[in-house]
Amino acid sequence: MNLPLHIAGRYLLSKKSHNAINLVSLVSVLGVAAATLALVCTLSAFNGFQGLIGTLYGNFDPDLKISAVQGKSFHTGTQAFDRVRQLPGVAVCCESIEENVLVRYKDSQTSAVLKGVAASFDSLTSIRDCLRAGSFKLNDEGIDFATIGAGLAATLGTGYSFIDPIMIYAPRRKGTVSLINPAASFKAVPILLTGAFAIGQPEYDDQRMIVPLAFARQLLEYSDDEVSCVEIKVARKAELKTVKKQIREILGQGYRVEDLHEQKAEFYRINRMEKWITYLMLCFILIIALFNVIGSLSMLILEKKEDAGILAKLGADGRLIRRVFLYEGWLIALSGAVLGIVLGAALCLLQQRYGWLKLGDGNFIVSAYPVALKPGDLLLVLVTVLTVSLPSVWWPVHYIFSGNEPSES
């Protein structure tokens, strides 16, 4: 049996001669628990928002995206890409072209990102689940159609009737620029609209226009096997990292193979920065809460001075006696940490299940705050509380007993 720990446990649970010490100890535990609960809930909320935005991007972006390290386009009519298409972990392989263009509808015009996709794009993404009006259709009986973002439709004023065609202007890749007639340097092609989509992200809803791959190649003067990127959906039972590694080995150093986190590296980096800055701010609040532990432990040491003298007479040295009060402080911090983690985890699970905390009035993607509880965050919070509590517990014990060891006489 660990004698100092046993005595510290008895001190924590036993009734003190002064009720104020019991009250201060309780306040210390609750203060640490409140700070710990805030850490758990805040980290889980950031996880929830990151997961939510990641899901929205996942409705439009592929599991893996292949692009050229140098240049805007590359050719896919090679044996290497044939091997990539035949990999067992590749469920869908969709060639794509992306380019900035100018679009005009009646008297309105704006810039947009043209995305030419193959017919497999429907299987690659959840585009049909994101439709706000019309339908998703690339080609019907030889007629090409475009699906645009809801924000772009609002900017152009197309409405949701989709009667009139939209005109797309793109700079010619070949030939020289005419200073006499600059308009001749642009190629203009009309296309009919068939639907509008929205995924809740302005970079897509306000800018994107999806058209058939053949239409984009004709407009941008690309060859038959030339693309901007190749987008891949990984088979459900396949390991993403394994498929990614296989593709990199086949294609070599001239191509970039990115998963969703790498495609949206800026978003995930900012989210992580916000999460850890908030974590550091809450750690300062935790430090303030641990001042209660200092006060509680100091009062307890002063009250138990007589008990410390008795232990000394029984043969306990100063090191053992100091450990009793060190353990007492750690038990207070640990009790608050465990209580805060349990309550925080319970609140997050209830929020996940019932969504009690709402986002308020407005046109939000979800009605309740998204949260995602991760075991790694719970372990981090526990380690943080115990680590921060070490100096706050050590200082009063060292200060009070320094040069004033309990006497045996």
pTM for the full predicted model: 0.74
* pLDDT of res. 12: 58
* pLDDT of res. 243: 93
* pLDDT of res. 19: 52
* pLDDT of res. 240: 87
Which single residue is written with the structure tokens 């309550």? 343
**Across the strands, what pairs with 258?**
65
* pLDDT of res. 162: 82
Q: Which of 71, 118, 61 is nearest to 255 (CA)?
A: 71
Chunked in runs of 10, what are the mean pLDDT values of the chain (409 residues)?
58 54 72 89 90 81 92 91 92 93 92 94 89 90 92 89 88 69 78 91 90 94 92 87 93 91 86 89 84 70 62 61 71 85 93 81 70 91 85 67 51
* pLDDT of res. 302: 64
